[in-house]
Structure 1
């Protein structure tokens, strides 16, 4: 089962469970700043084409720099958060990614706030990318604008796994990207080649993990 495959990978990544922010829950990872330094998100009241182009270009460069073949995609949504129940979230996602219906679906009730007992439905959809071809460019483009006027159900909700090398790629929105790995040497080339894109706030901790490689 895909869910079991991901659970095993998450364990090997040093996490008790899959939980955002991914970077702070795994011992080996890199947090990249995607949106800077291109400035204004909007131009004349509309999303800036240059801003979107540059964020997409940057995240795609990092994606293509990985020595990975991502074999599993997980998309998580919380449909009770939204009032527009007539909107077909899954159909929209399938149109963006050009994927068929998910191979697996799992539903559970979870608490989003640790200080509250209120529970909300969480739905997880799983795709096997070994047998399905994804339009990764379109997906990354849509995530780039998901939090600034796009398909908001993509924000912090897309997880790409390489369960052979045990690498997780999590582009959460236009601001940043987390990549975590079981072994630091797997993602060390990213640390070396795109070091200037590392989020300065976390640079010191990232350097401690990778500088002695």
Structure 2
């Protein structure tokens, strides 16, 4: 993971807001301005079904069965707090072959965000695998469910929900579904992701469109 990023993404911090770290990127807004909540049972199922479909469509465009990828998870935790810490449950439920867990790497970094509390840190897990090794849709749903009492969900540490992103090392593309509101796609060159923009530009907020078109050299 570190060797790959140093070679191909030396300025990428491997944390949220990838779009703002990269020269070439797209920010998709999901849900088509629907509300995730309704007045009947609280959860708008139509909204979530749409977000599932949009996220899966973008993932399918970026990751083909034989592509090599790195599945990255950022877990945020206290260095000192040992109580009420849930175990890591991001890889095991979604891996088809649990033996792949032996290839999981972990590195610890300082907490990457502004924070008034001392003693927090980020543990970053990474796994080299292929798309077909993963139960993709349940995994994407877990990312989408971050702010809602819906299942499936990730297990994580007490101070924050884990962030999951994917690096396609075959195409040099990165995908980060941050929650139900949207996802970020970055690339080493504009040509790789320009067709994605052209096909799904209706999923991009109007206020983002000009910036993205400038990044992707769209006239």
**TM-score with structure 1 setting the length:** 0.82
Structure 2 residue aligned with 1:119: 119
Matches within 5 A, 1:1-213: 2-11=1-10, 15-42=11-38, 44-66=40-62, 69-80=67-78, 84-85=84-85, 87-90=86-89, 93-98=91-96, 100=98, 101=101, 103-114=103-114, 116=116, 118-130=118-130, 133-150=133-150, 151=153, 153=156, 155=161, 157-212=163-218
Cα 1:49–1:97 shift into 2, 3 Å: farther
Cα 1:67–1:109 shift into 2, 3 Å: closer
CA contact (8 A) 2:16 2:163 kept: no
Residues matched between the structures, number: 207
CA RMSD of aligned residues (A): 2.8
CA contact (8 A) 1:111 1:118 kept: no
CA contact (8 A) 1:145 1:174 kept: yes
Cα 1:210–1:139 shift into 2, 3 Å: same
CA distance in 2, matches of 1:206, 1:6: 23
Task: Give, in angstroms, the shift of residue 70 of structure 1.
Answer: 4.8
5+ residue gaps, structure 1, are: none
**Higher fraction of helix:** 1
Task: Give, in angstroms, the shift of residue 198 of structure 1.
Answer: 1.0
**Deviation digits for residues 42-66 of structure 1, max 9, x if unmatched?**
5534433222111000111112223
